Amino acid sequence: MDPLPAPAARCRSPSPRRSAFSRVSPLTCAAAPAGVRLPAAGRSPCSPVSGSHRHRRRARVSAFARYSLYARTRLGYLFYQRQVKKARERYPHGHSVPQPYCFPGLKILPIPVLSNNYSYLVIDTGSSQAAVIDPSDPLAVQAAIEEEGVMLEAIFCTHKHWDHSGGNWELCQKHSSCRVYGSALDAIPQLTHPLADREKVSVGCLTFEALATPGHTVGHMVYVLDGGPFGSPPRLFSGDLLFLAGCGRPFEGSPETMLASLDLAMSLGEDTLLWPGHEYALECLTFASLLELDNSALEQKLQWAVQQRQEKRSTCPSTLGEEQTYNPFLRTHRPELQEALGLWQARGEDPDAFRARVLKEVRRRKDLYQAT
């Protein structure tokens, strides 16, 4: 979850030769579903923010305090319960139309929950054993389990935030043999089986590998489903590390930490299927189009996403190969993005240190964009 707005900050002017926010791409004028914010006419999300240094400092402190309340106290759980209630009322059938993906011996069912989250029911169809990733709403997940007629053997949590782990307790009550996996570094509810980096877990014929990807939280993990037994590519369940055209905020890590986690994910291979924790594609792609004005792959993907969301269809999965062509958080090495941001590598600067600086700037502009 990205529950808090990032603190406002003063923006340095981008390169005059290729201004990232000097104009709005025509694609941003396309109709967007309710709740998706497009840039306001005449206002750049990179405009200098008014207010004193003291005011901005108070905003940063306030944002950190709100995040701490959400992530570390019972108030966060009460806020999550309110989210669930509102989402059930607003989206009685989910925010997106479920689209199951079937392969020989394997079925993946995305479950749209809350206002933009995804849980995933992953089924070994031969044994009818199943695992669920990030059960946000236990009622929605249980309904899918019953409809599919499967046995829930495992819960995999990418991280502790309630919109990814809030359903653990109720599901464990209904499925007494269910194991809950995740990092011991995160306070994951009902955790029964702490996982180490690169540890593998089997559920029927399904084999998941846990990868430590800190940054969003200190104990964030992603899960890679081995596609070999099913004659298909690997599948990455990325939680809040990586979205279609976006990535999660580094609430509990530095840009360097987040960059290392993103690089680890990208090492899985271009054919890896990406199943993110949120339906953020339209917002992320629209933002990305303001950074790279001449990226044809990005323009095509944005047009496709607009059509998908107008029809309430999910935008996942994508592939990691695709993501490299338009996701700015994965393009920190690209000269065209660096130039658009007005950043250049200093003499003697370590290449990864420079990429972390680029990532930090993309993140800052994304946070300003979300605040407009």
**What is the pairing mode between strands 106-113 and 101-103?**
antiparallel
- Mean pLDDT over 100-121 rounds to 96
- Domain presence at residue 95: no
Range of the domain at 223: 101-371
What was the pLDDT predicted at 172? 97
The CATH number linked to 315 is 3.60.15.10
- Mean pLDDT over 177-196 rounds to 97
- Domain presence at residue 350: yes
* Cα–Cα distance for residue pair 308/204, rounded to 1 Å: 34
Residues 6+ apart with CB under 8 A from 334: none
- Domain presence at residue 307: yes
CA nearest to 201, candidates 154, 265, 157: 154
- Domain presence at residue 338: yes
CA nearest to 63, candidates 3, 10, 117, 1: 3
Contact 323, 265 (CB under 8 A): no
Domains in the chain, number: 1
CA-to-CA separations, 251 to 6, 68, 69, 264, in angstroms, rounded: 10, 10, 13, 19
- Number of residues that make up the chain: 372
DSSP state at residue 31: -
Q: Would you place residue 58 in the very low, low, confident or very high pLDDT band (cuts 50, 70, 90)?
A: low
Residues involved in catalysis? 159, 161, 163-164, 216, 240, 278
- Domain presence at residue 194: yes
H or E segment to which residue 54 belongs: helix 53-72
Contact 238, 158 (CB under 8 A): yes
- Domain presence at residue 172: yes
Report phi then psi at 361, rounded to 5.
-70, -40
Of 16-30, 45-59, 136-150, 198-212, give the lowest mean pLDDT range. Answer: 16-30
Residues 6+ apart with CB under 8 A from 296: none
H or E segment to which residue 224 belongs: strand 221-225
| pLDDT tens string 321-334 | 999 999 999 999 99
What was the pLDDT predicted at 18? 37
Q: What SS3 state is found at 148?
A: helix
Residue in the block written with tokens 């570094």: 185
pTM: 0.85
- Domain presence at residue 38: no
Q: Estimate the share of the chain in helix, then strand, then coil, as percent rounded to the nearest 5.
A: 40, 20, 45
For residue 8, pLDDT over 70 is answered with no
- Domain presence at residue 320: yes
What was the pLDDT predicted at 71? 83
